[in-house]
Amino acid sequence: MPEITLSPSENPDAFFTTILNVLAHGKTLTSAEAEAAFGIIMDGTLPAERVAAFLMALRVRGEDAGEVLGAVTALRRRMIPVPQVPADTIDVCGTGGDNYGTLNVSTAVAFVLAALGVPVAKHGNRAVSSRAGASDVLQALGVPLLANPTELSRQLNLHKLVFLAAPHHHPAMRHAAPVRKALGIRTLFNLLGPMVNPAGVKHQLIGVFSAEWLNLVVDVLHRLGSERVWAVCGQPEGETQGIDELTLAGPTRVVALENGNTHTLVVQAEMAGLPYAPVSAIRGGDATHNAQALEALLRGADGAYRDTVLLNAACALHVAGRRSILKGLHIDPQAFRECVADVSRVLDNGAALAVLNGLRTSSSGTHAQDMTG
């Protein structure tokens, strides 16, 4: 078994070779070793084939919480943060990678939460599991994606909502992007996006593409100081693949971090008074199609898309600390339905649409492809 005795700062290439040898023996890295290895990748000094070998070795053996913690720490150290963020700001996003190609759920939820007075800093990257990521949809809606951190802070405080394009805040990620694209399969990077929000949010509703990762995501965020997190994975009936949001199509598994403790839940749409609908009922299309559906939703349109957004937004209100839908460690159906009613009102009275129109008038900035959901 090789031992890691080299310093990554003195000889990065030799250090990384030792890291690869450790992984080739099926052993795990400490969080410090993983942080150093990901730091070398993010600094752009390695050839693509060595990065690919590293990512595949982790994937084949299976990544553990310490390695993910190290990767997140390396990325956070290199990101461009957003200043002066309200302490109760929340992020709602998904990992992507579920391949269902749905309409943009978490983006719609962000507008709803902002209309309810909850500050939202939604972070993400290019579309992973849909034909149109949020950046494409927002551009089709006429919403500029700003790059200047000071302007982003101003927009968040003015409109209660800001969209953070990962390329603006994580320039070091460009060194891994070609390898990820060439591999064409899920790697550790699919999990990292929701955990490296540039606004430093402590409240998050995170959709995860597979339930096997729920505990790990919550464990890592807990160790990094998050206060309230729900990691969720929908389990559509008749499907083998999970979906990275709460779903109407079956139960949703939840691992929740609240008051310093972690517990598990199962959420069903009927608990919120919402009807069953298959995933196909919210199948998306290109950016124009998804943008039209999102604006129609904000104008009060009914249907499975609205109900999916209501389900997710009601849970997000709980995660934000604005409402409680739990009694003890279980869902309280009455409180859940009351929360859904609150969310419904801002879709029907134009408040959510007003947030969209407010963002449309924001000063224009650099556009970038952005976000899943």
Q: Tell me the residue type at 182.
A: A
- The pLDDT of residue 369 is 37
- The pLDDT of residue 221 is 97
Q: Residue 204: is its pLDDT beyond 50? A: yes
The Cα–Cα gap between 273 and 252 comes to: 15
Q: Tell me the residue type at 335.
A: A
- The pLDDT of residue 1 is 53
- Model confidence over 49-96: pLDDT tens digits? 999 999 999 999 999 999 999 999 999 999 999 999 999 999 999 988
Q: Residue 140: is its pLDDT beyond 80? A: yes
CB-CB contact of 212 with 235 (8 Å): no
**Burial of 28 from C-beta contacts in 10 A (0-12 / 13-18 / 19+):** middle
CB-CB contact of 266 with 254 (8 Å): yes
**Burial of 256 from C-beta contacts in 10 A (0-12 / 13-18 / 19+):** buried
128 annotated among ligand-binding-site residues: yes
Reported as a pLDDT band with limits 50, 70 and 90, residue 2 is: low
The Cα–Cα gap between 313 and 305 comes to: 12
Q: Worst-scoring range by mean pLDDT, 25-34, 62-71, 166-175, 297-306?
A: 166-175
104 annotated among ligand-binding-site residues: yes
91 annotated among ligand-binding-site residues: no
**How do strand 326-327 and strand 252-258 relate by DSSP bridges?**
unpaired
318 annotated among ligand-binding-site residues: no
**Exposure letters 174-198 (e unless 16+ CB within 10 A, then b):** ebbeebbeebeebbbbbbbbbbbbb
134 annotated among ligand-binding-site residues: yes
Q: Residue 163's beta-bridge partner residues?
A: 122
| Tokens, residue 130 | 């849909």
What is the DSSP secondary structure assignment for residue 350, as one 8-state letter?
S
- Model confidence over 215-229: pLDDT tens digits? 999 999 999 999 999
The Cα–Cα gap between 1 and 22 comes to: 7
62 annotated among ligand-binding-site residues: no
Q: Residue 318: is its pLDDT beyond 80? A: yes
7 annotated among ligand-binding-site residues: no
- The pLDDT of residue 302 is 97
CB-CB contact of 113 with 321 (8 Å): no
314 annotated among ligand-binding-site residues: no
Q: For CA atoms 11, 188, 230, 159, give the dihedral sign.
A: positive
Q: Where are the alpha helices (DSSP H) in 45-133?
A: 48-61, 65-78, 105-115
324 annotated among ligand-binding-site residues: no
CB-CB contact of 89 with 119 (8 Å): yes
Contacts of 64 by beta carbon, 8 Å cutoff, 6+ apart: 28, 216
Give the percent of the chain with pLDDT over 90: 80
94 annotated among ligand-binding-site residues: yes
Q: Residue 311: is its pLDDT beyond 70? A: yes
- The pLDDT of residue 187 is 87
- The pLDDT of residue 365 is 42
- The pLDDT of residue 3 is 60
CB-CB contact of 213 with 240 (8 Å): no
The Cα–Cα gap between 79 and 81 comes to: 6
- The pLDDT of residue 5 is 61
Q: How many CB atoms lie within 10 A of CB 48?
A: 13
| Tokens, residue 168 | 């603006």
97 annotated among ligand-binding-site residues: yes
125 annotated among ligand-binding-site residues: yes
pTM: 0.92
What would the mean pLDDT of 352-364 be, rounded to a whole number? 86
The Cα–Cα gap between 274 and 302 comes to: 12
What would the mean pLDDT of 321-345 be, rounded to a whole number? 96
78 annotated among ligand-binding-site residues: no
126 annotated among ligand-binding-site residues: yes
Average pLDDT score over the chain: 92
CB-CB contact of 172 with 207 (8 Å): no
Reported as a pLDDT band with limits 50, 70 and 90, residue 373 is: low
- Model confidence over 233-259: pLDDT tens digits? 999 999 999 999 999 999 999 999 999
106 annotated among ligand-binding-site residues: yes
All structural domains of the chain: 12-77 (1.20.970.10), 90-358 (3.40.1030.10)
Q: Residue 371: is its pLDDT beyond 60? A: no
The Cα–Cα gap between 283 and 281 comes to: 6
Q: Tell me the residue type at 205.
A: L
- The pLDDT of residue 166 is 85
Q: Report in angstroms the alpha-carbon separations of 245 from 97, 156, 222.
A: 12, 24, 20
- The pLDDT of residue 368 is 39
Q: Residue 361: is its pLDDT beyond 90? A: no
